[in-house]
């Protein structure tokens, strides 16, 4: 076992490469925007928002080739075997305020170790919200990250600068496998500059100052929707109006994911401004969006179908594509059932739906390679080597292909439902018209 959690480990390095590779298969697209803001040859504390359980940490881990040290809630370290495995994965325990002040005081050891990690030049990551929540919003930040930063700065002295780097994670879907991820890097906080610029402030005051600064910077790099009674309505508006704004943007504005986030933030900003200036009109619009969402969900229609201007043509295209690829999808779908079935079984044991993609990822990581080996051996046993080799090659992308095909089939059904639901189409048209009349 490593003497220090940040010490180099060959097995860990191999596992990281494998995990990074599978992560890029688990999502259709992963983009990192603003990487150049991460300073080299310095101590770095990553501070991402926390919306998607384990997947958040994996996306941060894959930002570059460097190993990173994380923290996780202390209760999962109670089993000694689990604790040793988490240590191998470079994860340390941290107590939360909900655990009680006596337990929180035990964080001193973790804070000292974290400072030592940073002194050795290894990036450290702590999710400052303290708990995950599948919302485009931000919970109040805890103070642990700032205690670690101040202590680490004392240890580092003038050896190297220390930065808290805000990270904004935006998922195309929190719950759908093979979705998209955009990570935006915000403007770092230079901890030494904060200390030097405010020599009269106490440590608690410095922590509060950095807390407010980090919270503002994190809100700037995510789709931030205030968590109030209109959250769901606001989110529905961003989904049905985003495409219009994206079409108006020049391609040089950024990638599809960047432009989608920019468009969504523009919609939220416009609606918030309308709420301030014309409260009644804004609430009428949000009520209409809320009714639209309720009707859509009751009808089992995906918001992706609502984004299409001509759902009939979209349905026809999906249907043709599924028919043409069915000769591959159906037999391969049967072969991937053990992985899908196990992940579904495990998820039923864990009521928090936010873990669904984390479970899918872990079962993919552990079980799919084993099945590939079993299927490969069986194919060479029963088939000529040329056919067996062709079968093995076709089998490699099957797990992810079948997820995409199932998604396409569900969207086909959704498109057909929307085409036949006149009331919902009328509600969508009225909502869009009201939005255009009020905001444009």
pLDDT of residue 203: 92
Question: For the segment 394-422, what is each residue's pLDDT rounded down to a tens digit?
Answer: 999 999 999 999 999 999 999 999 999 99
Which among 27, 22, 44, 26 is positioned nearest to 35, based on CA atoms? Answer: 44
Q: Model confidence over 86-108: pLDDT tens digits?
A: 899 999 888 765 655 555 666 77
Distance set, CA 270 to CA 40, 256, 267, 403 (Å): 38, 21, 5, 36
Which one, of 110, 108, 42, lies nearest residue 71 by Cα? Answer: 110
Predicted confidence band of residue 1 (pLDDT cuts 50, 70, 90): low
Confidence of residue 143 (pLDDT cuts 50, 70, 90): confident
User: According to the model, what pLDDT value does residue 2 have?
Assistant: 62
Task: Return the minimum-mean-pLDDT range out of 79-88, 236-245, 334-343.
Answer: 79-88
Reported as a single tens digit per residue, the pLDDT across 109-122 is: 777 888 888 888 89
Q: Would you say residue 29 has pLDDT above 80? A: yes
Pairing of strands 180-185, 189-190: unpaired
pLDDT of residue 102: 58
Average pLDDT, the chain: 91
Q: Are strands 69-73 and 124-125 parallel, antiparallel or unpaired?
A: parallel
* pLDDT confidence band for 130 (50 / 70 / 90): confident
Chain Cα centroid distance, residue 247: 25
Residue 328 pLDDT greater than 80, yes or no: yes
pLDDT digits (tens, 9 = 90+) for 192-243: 999 999 999 999 999 999 999 999 999 999 999 998 899 999 999 999 999 8
| Predicted local confidence at residue 110, as pLDDT | 79
Residue 100 is predicted with a pLDDT of: 54
> What are the tens digits of pLDDT across the range 42-53?
899 999 999 999
Q: Label each residue of the chain as H, E or C.
A: CCCCCCCCCHHHHHHHHHHHHHHHHHCCEEEEECHHHCCCCCEEEEEECCCCCHHHHHHHHCCCCCCCEEEEEHHHHCCHHHHHHHHHCCEEEECCHHHCHHHHCCHHHHHHHHHHHHHCCCCEECCCCCCCCCCCCCCCCCCHHHHHHHHHHHHHCCCCCEEEEEEEEEECCCCCCCCEEEEEECCCEEHHHHHHHCCCCCHHHHHHHHHHHHHHHHHHCCCCCCCCCCHHHHHHHHHHHHHHHHHHCCHHHCCHHHHHHHHHHHHHHHHHHHHHHCHHHHHHHHHHHHHHHHHHHHCCCCHHHHHCCCHHHHHHHHHHHHHHHHHHHHHHHHHCHHHHHHHHHHHHHCCCHHHHHHHHHHHHHHHHHHHHHHHHHHHHHHCCHHHHHHHHHHHCCHHHHHHHHHHHHHHHHHHHHHHHCHHHHHHHHHHHHHHHHHCC
Classify 283 in phi/psi space as left (phi over 0), alpha (psi -120 to 50) or beta: alpha
Mean pLDDT within 30-40: 92
Q: List the domain boundaries for the chain.
A: 10-220, 231-299, 311-420
> What local confidence, expressed as pLDDT, does residue 157 receive?
81
Strand partners, 171: 181
147-198 pLDDT, tens digit per residue, is 889 988 988 887 888 999 999 999 999 999 999 999 999 999 999 999 999 9
Please give the CATH number for the structural domain made up of 10-220.
3.40.1130.10
């Amino acid at each position: 076992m490593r003497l220090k959690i940040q010490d180099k480990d060959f097995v860990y390095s191999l596992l990281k490469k494998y995990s990074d590779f599978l992560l890029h298969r688990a999502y259709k697209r992963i983009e990192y925007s603003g990487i150049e803001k991460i300073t080299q040859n310095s101590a770095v504390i990553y501070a991402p928002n926390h919306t998607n359980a384990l997947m958040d940490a994996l996306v941060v881990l894959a930002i570059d080739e460097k190993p990173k040290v994380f923290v996780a809630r202390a209760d999962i370290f109670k089993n000694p075997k689990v604790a040793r495995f988490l240590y191998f994965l470079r994860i340390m325990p941290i107590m939360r305020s909900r655990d009680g002040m006596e337990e929180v005081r035990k964080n001193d050891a973790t804070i000292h170790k974290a400072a030592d990690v940073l002194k050795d030049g290894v990036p450290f990551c702590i999710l400052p919200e303290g708990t995950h929540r599948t919302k485009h919003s931000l919970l109040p930040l805890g103070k642990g990250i700032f205690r670690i930063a101040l202590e680490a700065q004392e240890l580092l002295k003038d050896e190297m600068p220390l930065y808290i780097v805000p990270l904004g994670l935006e998922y195309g879907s929190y719950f759908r496998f093979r979705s998209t991820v955009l990570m935006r890097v915000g403007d770092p906080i230079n901890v030494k500059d904060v200390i030097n610029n405010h020599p009269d402030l106490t440590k608690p005051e410095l922590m509060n100052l950095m807390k407010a600064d980090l919270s503002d910077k994190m809100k700037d790099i995510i789709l931030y929707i205030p968590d109030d009674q209109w959250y769901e309505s606001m989110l529905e508006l961003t989904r049905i109006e985003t495409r219009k704004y994206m079409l108006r943007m020049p391609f040089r504005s950024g990638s599809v994911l960047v432009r989608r986030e920019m468009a969504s933030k523009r919609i939220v900003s416009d609606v918030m401004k309308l709420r301030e200036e014309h409260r009644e009109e804004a609430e009428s619009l949000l009520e209409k969006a809320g009714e639209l969402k309720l009707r859509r969900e009751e009808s089992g229609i995906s918001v992706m179908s609502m984004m299409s201007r001509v759902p009939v043509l979209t349905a026809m295209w999906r249907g043709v594509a599924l028919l043409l690829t069915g000769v591959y999808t159906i037999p391969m779908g049967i072969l991937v059932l053990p992985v899908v079935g196990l992940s579904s079984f495990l998820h039923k044991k864990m009521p928090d739906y936010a873990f669904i993609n984390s479970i899918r990822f872990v079962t993919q990581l552990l079980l799919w390679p084993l099945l590939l080996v079993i299927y490969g051996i069986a194919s060479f046993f029963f088939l000529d080597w040329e056919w067996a080799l062709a079968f093995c090659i076709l089998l490699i992308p099957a797990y992810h292909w079948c997820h995409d095909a199932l998604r396409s089939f569900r969207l086909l059904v959704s498109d057909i439902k929307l085409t036949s639901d006149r009331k919902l189409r009328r509600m969508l048209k009225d909502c869009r018209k009201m939005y255009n009349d009020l905001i444009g």
